[in-house]
């Protein structure tokens, strides 16, 4: 009898640019996960442990990262559109070249990315593009 794959193993086995839709990773241990530039839509990572995960080039649309632990993760070149990152821990995360934006779901634009209460100490924000992001702290610049 084979042991079922963990969420981290399943994600690492998907091919580049594979679509992952509606998956629930709430409170899962995804430490050091290395998905291969996957496309996530309407997935929940609420309270998930994503410390030191390599999420480079991944695309997240309407995903929930409420309270997720992303300390030390790499989100270089990632796209977060219409995502909820309220109270997420992004300390020491590499967001170089990442795009945080809303999703145009009609008029007016709906589906903003919300980072209210997120922690950013030590986060690399070089070349980050933040368009209509709710909760963007005034002390953060878009190109540190």
Domain boundaries, the chain: 7-135
Q: Are 127 and 97 in contact (CB under 8 A)?
A: yes
> Tens digit of pLDDT for each residue in 46-89?
999 999 999 999 999 999 999 999 999 999 999 999 999 999 99
Sheet holding 79-81, edge to edge: 19-21, 39-41, 59-61, 79-81, 99-101, 129-130
- Cα 133 from Cα 136, distance rounded (Å): 6
- Which pLDDT does position 137 carry in this prediction? 73
Q: So what's the architecture of 7-135 in CATH?
A: 3 Solenoid (2.160)
Q: Is 18 a residue whose pLDDT tops 90?
A: yes
> Tens digit of pLDDT for each residue in 82-131?
999 999 999 999 999 999 998 876 666 568 899 999 999 999 999 999 98
């Amino acid at each position: 009898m084979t042991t079922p794959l963990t969420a981290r193993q399943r994600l690492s086995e998907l091919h580049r640019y594979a679509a992952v839709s509606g998956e629930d990773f709430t409170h899962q241990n995804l430490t050091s996960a290395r998905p291969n530039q996957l496309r996530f839509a309407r997935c929940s990572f609420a309270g998930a442990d994503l410390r030191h995960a390599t999420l480079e080039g991944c695309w997240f649309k309407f995903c929930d990262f409420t309270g997720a632990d992303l300390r030390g993760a790499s989100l270089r070149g990632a796209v977060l559109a219409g995502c909820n990152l309220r109270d997420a821990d992004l300390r020491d995360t590499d967001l170089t070249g990442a795009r945080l934006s809303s999703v145009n779901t009609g008029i007016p634009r709906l589906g903003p990315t919300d980072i209210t209460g997120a922690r950013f100490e030590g986060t690399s924000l070089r070349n980050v593009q933040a368009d209509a992001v709710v909760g963007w702290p005034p002390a953060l610049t878009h190109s540190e």
